[in-house]
Amino acid sequence: MFNWLGLGKKRSKFGKWLDNEGITQLELERRSKLSRGTISKLCNDDSYRPKHSTIASVKKALKQLGKNVPDDFFNM
């Protein structure tokens, strides 16, 4: 499997959505003021269950970008 610079990595539903919207993890990290580790888990770990405050921070950051993401992307 090809895995250069993270390409070919398994992405969560949310991670795939970010990719399709052209939003980078770094951009989301900066806007949401969440840690790199938290954003990485959201984008790559299907078993990760974020806190409600984390989801609220992500949604607020995405709203600043004119985007809305469904709650089911966070495995709630």
Residue 4 lies in a domain: no
**Cα three-residue angle 27-31-70, rounded to 5 degrees:** 85
DSSP line for 37-69: HHHHHHHH-TT----HHHHHHHHHHHHHTT---
Residue 38 lies in a domain: yes
* Domain span at 69: 13-73
pLDDT in tens, 4-63: 455 566 899 899 999 999 999 999 999 999 999 999 999 999 899 999 999 999 999 999
12 vs 73, residue with greater confidence:
12
Residue 33 lies in a domain: yes
Residue 2 lies in a domain: no
Q: What is the pLDDT of residue 2?
A: 42
Using alpha carbons, select from 31, 6, 38, 32 the residue that is nearest to residue 19. 6
Residue 65 lies in a domain: yes
Residue 3 lies in a domain: no
Can you give the pTM of this predicted structure? 0.81
Q: Output the CA torsion 29→21→4→43 (10° steps).
A: 50
In total, how many domains does the chain have? Answer: 1
Residue 30 lies in a domain: yes
Q: Is the pLDDT of residue 66 over 50?
A: yes
Residue 29 lies in a domain: yes
